Amino acid sequence: MGVNPTTRHVAVTMHTRRPAALDAAAEFVAGMSAHGIVSVLMPDEVELVRQRIPDAAVGTLDDDTSCELSVVFGGDGNILRAAEWALPREVPVLGVNLGHVGFLAELESSQVGTLVDTVVNRAYDVEERSTVDCAIRDRVGGKAVWRSFAVNECSLEKGARERMMDVLIRVDDRPLCRWATDGVLVATPTGSTAYAFSAHGPVVWPDVDATLLVPLSAHALFARPCVLSPNSTVRIELLPGTHGGVLWCDGRRRAEMAAGMEVEVRRGEHTLRLARTAEQPFVTRLVRKFQLPVNGWRGVDERDQVHAG
């Protein structure tokens, strides 16, 4: 797609199977078009928007497209999808939650009406989140045979349902523990409220620079989640006798691993840039998204009422 350097471009992605997401995206694209801003979409999404707004200024998202922002209509899964394009290009991502929890999203569906003015006026700040890079190394020579990144977590999971896998964990080239386990997560602070949260890992504030190591149902005396230095390198080796495993990155990209292979996880080369329209403390977001009972089960007197924001 030819790009006019004087024309502003915004990438738009959406949950195409949710009518509410399609309608919200179409409304946003119409607003962008009215202000002379071109919305670029994935090829299969261009026609869906044109069916609703035939005269909208839209284009097709490709490797050469230069965008100031990526706007996502859906849930966290759609934001992770958009991150695959935005991360290496360092394009900020602004999510509109039309899913369930939506921890990565900035706006709720009820706030879509304010979005056009926000983007037109660039009325947002950018928050940077750490990522992790992972590489699967072969049994012979340690050559990397597969690479990817993760915003939330890399999860190595057992390949055979009926049997645990046997793994050796090394941190900074020093053995830490050996686990018979269903899996192992290496997560970012952003991912601490995702899969790692379900695995009873700690909730880590996103501005904390750290890496999480979380076992999944490990059969071992020491099987506690660990908070590591952000500069630590984690290596997980599938020991002989294990029936293989599957490495997932954010639940979106996967690769098979055989016994003797090793996955290496370290700080990511790129950061995820999230667009924020208002300063909102993480504790407020945590209470709101998880609907935490901040008043306690005993109830409170009006004088002691706790306001979560």
Q: pLDDT tens digits for 119-155?
A: 999 999 999 999 999 999 998 778 999 999 999 999 9
Answer yes or no: is 67 within a domain.
yes
Count up the domains in the chain and report the number.
2
Catalytic residue among 44, 76, 117, 125: 76
Collapsed DSSP state (helix, strand, coil) of residue 88? helix
Domain's final residue, options 102, 123, 144: 123
Residue at a domain's end among 82, 99, 123: 123
Residue 12: its pLDDT value, please? 96
Tell me whether residue 76 is one of the annotated catalytic residues. yes
Q: Which domain holds residue 108?
A: 9-123
Does residue 138 sit in the same domain as residue 234? yes
Same domain, 95 and 186: no
Using CA atoms, how far apart are residues 246 and 158, in angstroms rounded to an integer?
6
What is the CATH number for 101? 3.40.50.10330
Q: Which two tokens stand for residue 274?
A: 């999230």
Phi and psi at residue 238, in whole multiples of 5°? -80, 115
Claim to verify: residue 169 and residue 262 sit in the same structural domain? yes
Average confidence (pLDDT) over 166-195: 96
Do residues 55 and 149 both lie within one domain? no
Find which of 21-25, 58-62, 65-69, 246-250 is predicted with most confidence, using mean pLDDT: 246-250
Distance of CA 182 to the CA centre of its chain: 22
* 178 in the same domain as 95: no
Same domain, 13 and 115: yes
pTM: 0.88
Looking at 123, 155, 184, the residue that finishes a domain is 123
Position 47 in a domain: yes
pLDDT in tens, 216-226: 999 988 899 99
Q: Is residue 309 part of a domain?
A: no
Q: What's the pLDDT at 291? A: 83
